[in-house]
Chains A and B, each alone.
Chain A
Amino acid sequence: DVKVTQSSRYLVKRTGEKVFLECVQDMDHENMFWYRQDPGLGLRLIYFSYDVKMKEKGDIPEGYSVSREKKERFSLILESASTNQTSMYLCASSGGAPGELFFGEGSRLTVL
């Protein structure tokens, strides 16, 4: 069964802390994505990657960076967490039909 695994389901951090969200997929997919989900706003794309070492900004990249050193792993980094980054973060991968994403279970981040 295909799987996208996000390392932390729930995190609580303080303003200014550095936060790492890890995502691993076991489907040998080329493409990986980070979205955040907020009420009334749906899913918004933060960053994506179509290949190892490659990254592209999505619609809301400010305050975030990413790392893709290996094909199966895509990390989201908050260099200095702020309260407006409190959200549900969803990682996804795809490798087949365009648009058909496989999502992880999400990481709920609270920044105090």
Chain B
Amino acid sequence: DQQVKQNSPSLSVQEGRISILNCDYTNSMFDYFLWYKKYPAEGPTFLISISSIKDKNEDGRFTVFLNKSAKHLSLHIVPSQPGDSAVYFCAASDSGDYKLSFGAGTTVTVRA
């Protein structure tokens, strides 16, 4: 059973607007969360992370929000750009562990 869930397989957004990607997890031992971005024919690359001691982490246009009580996190991309069109994977780990559990991914398409 998947411990990390991304319930929206796809998202289409206009250039310049906000993209919001959602992720839920079930394992209460998870305390470190990451987002990866994947272009076709390439491996995933690390985008941004957040520890459970925080509820927000920001890096340029990318912000991740964590709601521990709801076991929910979201990634905001503002403003969205055509180069942001990719598959985004949410991932989680127990910080004492190097291996990650991934969600199914959300395909983002940014329309010009």
A interface residue numbers (CB < 8 A to B): 4, 31, 33, 35, 40-45, 48, 50, 58-59, 90, 92, 94, 97-106
Q: Which residue, A40, A42, A44, A99, has most C-beta atoms of chain B within 10 A? A: A99
| A56 nearest in chain B by CB position | B99
For the complex, count residues of B whose C-beta is within 8 A of A: 28
| A9 nearest in chain B by CB position | B41
Which residues of the partner chain A approach B13 to less than 8 Å between Cβ atoms? none
Q: Which residue, A43, A58, A100, has most C-beta atoms of chain B within 10 A? A: A43
Bound-complex Cα distance A10 to B73 (A):
35
Which residues of the partner chain B approach A45 to less than 8 Å between Cβ atoms? 99-101
B32, B89, B95, B98: the one within 8 Å of A50 (CB): B98
